[in-house]
Structure 1
Amino acid sequence: MQKKHPFISKLALYALGCVVILTGPACTLSLFDFGLSGSGEEIPITNPSDNLTNSPTPIPSAKTTFTVHIPVPLNEGDILALSILDEVTGLPFNTINYPLQAIDALTYTVDLPLPLNAVIKYRYIIPGVTRSQETTSANLPVRYRLYKVVGIGSVQDTVTSWTGQTFSGSTGKIQGLAIDSLSGLPIPNLLIGAGGTQTLTDSAGRFYLDGILPGLHLLSAYSLDGTYQPFQQGAQVDADLITPVQIHVAPAQMVNITFIANPPKNTVTGAPIRLAGNLLQLGNTFGDLNGGFNAIADRMPTLSTMADGRYSITLQLPIGTDLRYKYTLGDGFWNAEQKNSGELILRRLVVPETDLIIEDNIETWQTGPSSPIVFDLNVPANTPAGDLVYIQFFPYAWTEPIPMWTMGNNRWTYKLYGPLDVLNSFSYRYCRNAQCGSADDLATMGNATTGRQITTSLAPQDIRDSITGWAWLEEDAPYTLVAAPIQPRSTEFIAGIEFQSNYSPSWMNFTSQAMQNVSALNANWVVLTPSWTFTRTQPLVFNAQPGQDPLWDDTSGMMSQAHALNLNIALFPTPNFPAPADDWWISAPRDFGWWNEWFDHYHQFALHYADLAARNNAETLILGGEWLAPAMQNGILANGEPSGVPADAELRWNAILADLRGHFGGKIWWALPFTPGSLPSSPQFVKSADGVYLLWNAPLSQENPADKNAMIAEAVRLLDEEISPYQVAVEKEIILGLAAPSATGVESACILDPLGTCLDWTSLSRPNADIPSVNLNLQAQTDVYESMLTAINGRSWIDGFISRGYYPPVMLKDKSASVYGKPAADLLWYWYPRLLGLAQ
């Protein structure tokens, strides 16, 4: 029988919604308070500035009155609280909760002394055993509301609904434009919030907030990196109407701030100390990540060691920024600094108008009686050079992985100081390049694993682990490249790699290496696939979701990395869906009004990436894709029914393409799925594009095992009999895009799922869970590539070949379409320079 651990039970309960008894005017509750006592006893009054350490002088405060209207009266014994959040540690942790007083059954209020110039992130909760959090009209949790303290003030809020309730009622919409008050230019990537909803501005500074209750709301604008000053104003929303808003946001000037940290004496010599903060450049992703975290260690700047043992870093930061920060040997939660008394530390600095040097003393990395735990790890000799090893902890769920410290000779270590005072037993596992769940230790692979178990102790522990092998990195039989007579093209031929569209903020530490790997394959093009996410169908909500979709700066950074290696760039924006795309289309309303809204949103999506491509000197923008079939003229759903797309769909697509020309001067390709017999019904507006990115999904063989010569012959037949006539008809560049998973069945273009139906190739992409019924087959993938490359050899009317589905953060010999580290990559390494005329 497995032993139960009471502290873990409490911790899990906290993560899901801990028991909070608010008997005093204010209650400060953190993960650490709960783990130590968990008694629910009264906690003394807390000023919101008390836990903001750093100030050499007292922080002036101003009284702010919060008044909130709730949808239904509280149950007897329930208490309504305003919860001030800490996005550096993680939104579920280190909250400061203030009970509100009733004015009447539906109206509550509280007066709080808040630090001047602070930007407060907060939301409303009903604490207790059945803890509830406010939700939006789409029944999604309110992430937080924003309020900047500029003096004595008042805030009027309305709660839409609570966890577990289904909202039904009238709502309105805010449609606005964010403009730089000095230059007059639009501001992209600005966080806009009102009524508990949030969105990001697009490339034109536009924003849409749907599903807002009628009434007066505080509209806030917040710069993720602080380069614009916070903005707020009232916005009146009426039922079933759109409130137009134009806001002018002032840019912030930059100054140099030097942070000097004195570490505790027991800090491991040479251990990297990072600066975790509430800005994008200090690790905050503004997304909801594993375990309730919001910040990632890899995205936090690392301090340098000084000769006297102190650590320092100088950062350019925007004047006036309300900076919240802490020092850490991990992230904002694991191994973050604490006070000797056990309290969390969250330092605060309002960035001044002149350069500043700040010296901070780190009191301790640990509190409580439990001793630190050292994890000493030996990894296999086949661990790829350049890979980083991570450790991931499971106190109540898998949290974000933490980079270990290299010792050389395949040895890695990590010393865990805290928060051990709230743990009894917990789990951990190892992975490569932060891709836990995909690039795991063989002994703990997959997200269903319980990991390795450990119990805290009063005595120091030195855990020595050895990894016998990495998942999806087993040695495979050597692949023999067979020399082939390759007819060279010019260097204008497109030899490319397309990144997969699944994205995680953890990628960004590894995309530079991925670009170098692409360049090493002798590719001359890289296709990036940034995304927006559909989060709601009625009303339609389609925008970038931090943590799920790469932000403006993320994609711009990847484009800079590609340009540094002289790679040509194509942007192929792709949506994320809350369900499989076919199911999403079927469940959508698809009436005439909905389709108008859908085309408006897609148009905005396309223009956003056209502007991003133009500002970063991309060569090509790619639109279209497999998912768009229902939106084509006479569109058909996956179940065979008409999609109801408007009769003028062709005209709408032509108008979108024409508008894009005014934003982007490079080439525009249309991504067109290809199956045998599909081209005669392809849309006519493709003639308005500059090229056709033909997404190959045609069977080459139904035999098992397949005969390679027969596969080549079938590829040649399809090229000559179907694709060549189409190229003549449209008179456009033809670029073939191949997504070939390394799985049995890829030759037939039908990899079967357990129900016997054909899988979408993206279902095998990472970080999706492995499908055990699908058999790994690296040779099958290589044979398909060799067949296709042989077939296009000598066909000069084929203008390019692109390998799709590349997984940038890590090498995996898995079942996905990614060729990274697989024999198919060796094949491309041989073919690409010869097709480009760079080798013989």
Structure 2
Amino acid sequence: MRFPFRLFAAAAALLAGCSLLPSARATPAGPTPVPVPSPTPLPAALITFNLTPPEATPADAEVVLVFLDEVTGFAYNTTVIPMQRLTDGRWSAETYAPAGALVRYRYARQEPELAEEVSASGEAILYRVARITGPGEINDIAGAWAGLTYQGTTGRIVGHLYDGASGDPLPEMMVDVAGIQAFTDGEGYFRIEGLPPGLQRVTAFSPTGSYYSVDQGAVIATGSATLVELRMVAATPVQVGFEVTVPANTSPGPPARITGNLLQLGHLFTSLPGGASISAARAPVLTQLDPSHFIFVATLYAGTDLRYKYTLGDGLWNAERTPDGSFLTRRLIIPEESIILEDAVSTWRGGDSGAVTLHVSTPANTPSGDLVAIQFNPFTWFEPIPMLRLEPNEWFFTLHGPLETAGNLGYRYCRNYACGSADDAATSARSTTGRPITPSPALQDLRDTVENWQWLEGDLPPTTVVAPEIHSNPEFEAGVEIVPQYRPTWPSIFAHSVDELAAGGANSVVLTAPWILGDNSPLPSIAFDPARSPFRSDLRQMIAQALSAGLDVSLRPALVPASGNLADWWSAAPRNSTWWDAWFEGYRSLVLTYARVAAETGASRLIVGGPEAAYALPGSTFADGTPTSVPSDAEARWRALLDDIRQIYRGTLAFEIDFHADAPLLPPFLEEVGEAYVYWHVPLSEDPDPTLAAMQISAGDALDALLATPRLQGIPLVLSVEYLSIDGAASACAPYPDGSCRPPESFDLGAIVDPDLEVDLQEQAQAFNAVIAEAAERPEIRGLYARRYNPAAGLRDLSASVNGKPARDILWYWFARITAGP
């Protein structure tokens, strides 16, 4: 988990002096503070924190212990405790914490200059986790301070978590060792690299609170793996009712929400833009009883160290404050029995700045199912927050804070939380700081108009479809494959997206479940990342929404580089025997995790392979013909993986093969799967102004060549078709200046890759028309999916997504007629 160090300083500037703010006063600019009784203190235990500091830490340094507020945001509302240097060179501090707490903290050096702690690999420590059971000591080892390089050796931990009663593996449990976090995979395993040698503490906990947290010590040895087994006990589910009174003159606008340090309360267990940790799109909305009273009931778990707050936005923006304007995060160790909490919000404001109401009118061509969100920028762009719809194209929001900042605050509007791609065209530039707000003691009423949305300017002429008589084939799979660029806001808008697909005639959808490729040396990092990977609960929800819309669902585990492209990631890797062992282990972890989800949810197909795994196939090469140096037993490893999948998942197992200009590389184990899923990006024409007839001839010739491949005889084929929306799309190549082809994923989600590349929506549409016209006439082709579909927003961008483009109109025309019954 990466957290840029510069955000800490920026956050400090944003909230400078918050603890010294004057008491909030009742003014027309905001709601009147409500008297709030002091909470009953939780039983506390004296805890001593001891730190073995990085080498070369001066004896006269000032080292501090920093406790974090994971609901407001990891960079905000911190508590700093000075540490004392001991005679043995360690640093120590004492503090009290409630028994049963799960505290998040980190260390920092304040002198000779400010420096946060970083891991042995140089990544900022977002937080450490400590489980408090009673009085005792917490002993930690720090790798390095920011700006310095760790000079020591490292080891790793490989562990397994399981249910203490049933012995079943526990997926998606979070594990913390020395401030480095990992999630367990579908079989309950985790791996953490780059740990300084010595005694480290392993702490595991459930993001939902459904299991009691556990910890144990583990000795890390240089260059080796320490194995740990952690037994977790299921927590008792209890009903928790929240009754809250808000200030009577709270302005209407954004709905009241509850948010907290649990997954089901909007927490994502990662650092979001700006250092926040909560997504407003995921925070539950309270039920309003009258203008000042709200309720919410949740099934939570006994023993959970619950941190929560009420908000009209997220954990930072529009969140409740104390009467003196300071940030407020409430705390409760959930008891073993159901409980009703009666709370009162004192105020939504901090400081003397008045509230800001924002009204925005959006263009007439705004899709009716879209919602509008607002995004704020005090020093960087934060997570977007949904606005209130007043009329079909009229939206409203009231901003209460934090407004106690110097200078201007920027903001912008976007569609469906897709800020950065589906923005107001007037604030869409990469360098934009948005429209300005200048805080003022007086109430401000800002009225804006979005003249155009980025990538949605103007209206398109009607789409022309060229088609012969179309023969219906209700068994033909017609649908889209979701782009593997998951965002945590997608579950909140996905139901509408699949309803649109079904209304257009689609009968199927392929959901991609990406994990992230991080470092490729010395070992490959393949990891679940909550900012870019769906939690199992989210994936189950999206599958249920698709099934409810009448769509058949396939699941495709995917690997996506954290930055750069696949070819570069693979070519720069060492690819020695140890590296290959780690890669196959990581890929197996990914695939089996989602094989379990597919089995649990009734997904009809699981797709493995594809471009991200093609470099690991026997006989694979790079684009220049250089072998990828796969191990000699690669085929045996693949066959073992397929056998493992079959122990979990009984549906259709497909292997994805790449079909471009040359004959596809077919794995030697192809007969072990039930279907070939063909990644189709075949050049249809090099002509700068290709005709549909010429493209259709090329598509037909390529299909015939594919079907004539001896080893594909008798194997069902499904096409996953990809063409960018660029001038030259029919060539299946977006050229670099040197003539080589850009990776298509670089255009995803409205990315502007090269200003010299021009959008050509019609060429993409004709390419799809050509391919589906030929595929529909060949009974060996069992289905066609449009690849890299963006479910968040229709964009007329350069990407391969057909959402909102003429290519979608082409497919809807064909899909509705092919899938229609007799």
TM range (shorter): over 0.9
Q: After the TM superposition, which residues 425-436 of structure 1 pair with which residues of structure 2 at under 5 Å, given as runs?
A: 425-436=408-419
Aligned to 2:476: 493
Mapped to 2, the partners of 1:269 and 1:563 lie a distance apart of: 36
C-alpha distance in structure 1 between counterparts of 2:496 and 2:584, whole Å: 37
Q: What are the superposed Cα offsets for residues 84-133 of structure 1, whole Å, 9 maximum, x if unpaired? A: 11111110111111111111474111111112211101111113584222
| 1:220 maps to 2:203 | yes
Confirm or deny: 8 A CA contact 1:31 1:93 kept in the other structure.
no
- 2: CA distance between counterparts of 1:366 and 1:116? 32
AA aligned opposite 1:86: D
How far apart are residue 660 of structure 1 and its match?
A: 1.4
* 1:693 is the counterpart of 2:677: yes
Match of 2:628 in 1: 643
- Structure 1's unaligned 5+ residue stretches are 1-11, 20-28, 39-52
Secondary structure of the corresponding residue to residue 648 of structure 2: coil
Query: Residue 572 of structure 2 corresponds to which residue in structure 1?
Result: 587
Structure 1 Cα separation of the partners of residues 6 and 609 of structure 2: 45
The one of 408, 413, 416 equivalent to 2:399 is 416
1: CA distance, partners of 2:599 / 2:77? 42
Give the length in aligned residue pairs. Answer: 802
3-state SS, counterpart of residue 540 of structure 1: coil
The structure 2 residue matched to 1:242, chosen from 213, 219, 225, is: 225
Aligned counterpart, 1:322: 305
CA distance in 1, matches of 2:145, 2:523: 20
The match for 2:127 is 144
Instruction: Tell me the distance in 2 between the aligned counterparts of 1:751 and 1:726.
Output: 28
> Would you say the 8 A contact 2:523–2:578 is kept in 1?
no
Task: Give, as a single letter, the amino acid of the residue that structure 1 aligns with 2:9.
Answer: G
For residues 408 and 254 of structure 2, the distance between their equivalents in structure 1, rounded to whole angstroms, comes to: 25
The match for 2:40 is 57
Q: 1:431-470 alignment to 2 at 5 Å? A: 431-470=414-453
Match of 2:560 among 561, 573, 576: 576
CA contact (8 A) 2:18 2:326 kept: no
Q: Does 1:504 align with 2:482?
A: no
Within 5 Å, which residues of 2 pair with 1:97-136? 97-104=80-87, 106-127=89-110, 130-136=113-119
2:356, 2:19 → 1: CA distance?
19
1:138 & 1:820 partners in 2: Cα distance?
Answer: 40
Return the alpha-carbon distance in structure 1 between the equivalents of residues 336 and 274 of structure 2.
37
Native 8 Å contact 1:273 1:302 kept in 2: yes
**Which of 780, 783, 786 pairs up with 2:763?**
780
Q: Sequence identity of aligned pairs in percent? A: 36
What secondary structure does 2:630 align onto?
coil
CA distance in 1: counterparts of 2:499 and 2:770, whole angstroms: 26
Contact (CA 8 Å) 1:376, 1:413: kept in 2 or not?
Answer: yes
1:86 counterpart (69, 72, 84): 69
State the shift of 1:492 in Å.
Answer: 2.5
The CA deviation at 1:727 is 6.1
* 2:253–2:398 CA contact under 8 A, matched in 1: no
- Among 170, 180, 187, the alignment partner of 2:170 is 187
The structural deviation recorded for 1:350 is 1.4
Structure 2 letter corresponding to 1:470: W
- Assess if the C-alpha contact under 8 Å between 1:30 and 1:94 holds in 2: no
What secondary structure sits across from 2:404 in the alignment? helix
Instruction: Give runs of aligned pairs for residues 303-314 of structure 1, distance below 5 A.
Output: 303-307=286-290, 309-314=292-297
CA contact (8 A) 1:18 1:131 kept: no
Using the size of structure 1 for normalisation, the TM-score is: 0.92
- Residues 248 and 292 in structure 2, CA contact (< 8 A), matched pair in contact too: no
Cα distance in 1 for partners of 2:248, 2:620 equals 68
Deviation at 1:769, TM superposition (A): 3.9
Alignment of 1:420-819 (within 5 A): 420-474=403-457, 475-489=459-473, 491-537=474-520, 538-578=522-562, 579-679=564-664, 681-720=665-704, 722-726=705-709, 729-754=712-737, 756-766=739-749, 768-819=751-802
Change beyond 3 A, Cα 1:657–1:54: farther
- Give the superposition deviation at 1:780: 0.7
Task: Tell me the distance in 1 between the aligned counterparts of 2:737 and 2:535.
Answer: 36
Q: Output the CA distance in 2 between the equivalents of 1:388 and 1:446.
A: 21
Superposition deviation, residue 483 in structure 1: 5.0
1:605 positional shift: 1.8
Task: Give secondary structure in 1 for the equivalent of 2:15.
Answer: helix
Is 1:376 the equivalent of 2:359?
Answer: yes
Structure 2 counterparts to residues 341-420 of structure 1, below 5 A:
341-420=324-403
1:266 is aligned to: 249
Deviation per residue, 1:471-520 (Å, 9 max, x gap): 1112112213345311222x322212100001111222111111112212
Identify the residue that residue 22 of structure 1 maps to in structure 2.
Answer: none
Flag the 1:737–1:271 CA change in 2: closer, same or farther, 3 A.
closer
Q: CA deviation at 1:307?
A: 3.4
1:834 aligns with 2:817: yes
Determine the C-alpha separation between the residues in 2 that align with 1:731 and 1:168: 58
Letter in 1 for 2:137: S
2:141 equivalent in structure 1: 158
How far has the Cα of 1:442 moved from its partner?
1.1
- Between the aligned partners of 2:624 and 2:173, the Cα distance in structure 1 is 39
Paired residues of 1:488 and 1:836 also in contact (CA < 8 A):
yes
Aligned CA distance change for structure 1 residues 778 and 691 (closer, same or farther; 3 Å)? same
Q: Name the residue aligned to 2:271.
A: 288
Give 1:302 shift. Answer: 0.8
Shift of 1:138: 2.1
Tell me, in whole angstroms, the C-alpha distance in 1 between the residues paired with 2:617 and 2:151.
Answer: 33
> Per the alignment, in what secondary structure is the counterpart of residue 631 of structure 1?
coil
* 8 A Cα contact 1:440 1:446, kept in partner: no
Paired position in structure 2 for 1:17: 9
Q: Is the 8 A contact 2:248 2:291 kept in 1?
A: no
Q: TM-score, normalised by structure 2?
A: 0.94
Query: How far apart are 1:753 and its partner, in Å?
Result: 3.6
Whether the 8 Å contact between 1:262 and 1:311 is mirrored in structure 2 is yes
Letter in structure 1 aligned against 2:697: A
String of CA shifts for 1:9-41, please: whole Å, max 9, x gaps: xxx99834279xxxxxxxxx8953446879xxx
Per the TM alignment, residue 728 of structure 1 is displaced from its structure 2 partner at its CA by: 6.1
Cα distance in 1 between the residues matched to 2:364 and 2:65: 53
1:630-685 C-alpha deviation (Å, 9 max, x unpaired): 21213322444222211222222222212211111111111111023323x42222
Where structure 2 has 5 or more consecutive residues not aligned to the other structure, the ranges are 22-35
How far did 1:829 drift? 1.5
CA shift at 1:767, angstroms?
5.4
Q: Please give the alpha-carbon distance, in whole angstroms, between the structure 1 residues aligned to 2:677 and 2:413.
A: 39
**Matched position secondary structure for 2:631:** coil
Contact 2:247 2:292 in 1 (8 A): no
What is the rounded CA distance, in whole Å, between the counterparts of 2:557 and 2:380 in structure 1? 32
- 1:176, 1:246 within 8 Å by CA — same for their partners in 2? yes
Amino acid at match of 1:563: L
CA RMSD of aligned residues (A): 2.1
Q: 1:666 to 1:83 in 2, by over 3 A?
A: same
Change (3 A) 1:54 1:202: farther
The DSSP-based 3-state class of the residue aligned with 1:693 is strand
Partner-residue secondary structure (3-state), 2:525: strand
Query: Shift in Å at residue 836 of structure 1?
Result: 2.5
Q: CA deviation at 1:308?
A: 6.3
Contact kept in structure 1, 2:455 and 2:750, CA below 8 Å = no
Residue 412 of structure 1 aligns to a residue in which SS?
strand
The whole-number CA distance in structure 2 between the counterparts of 1:754 and 1:442 is 28
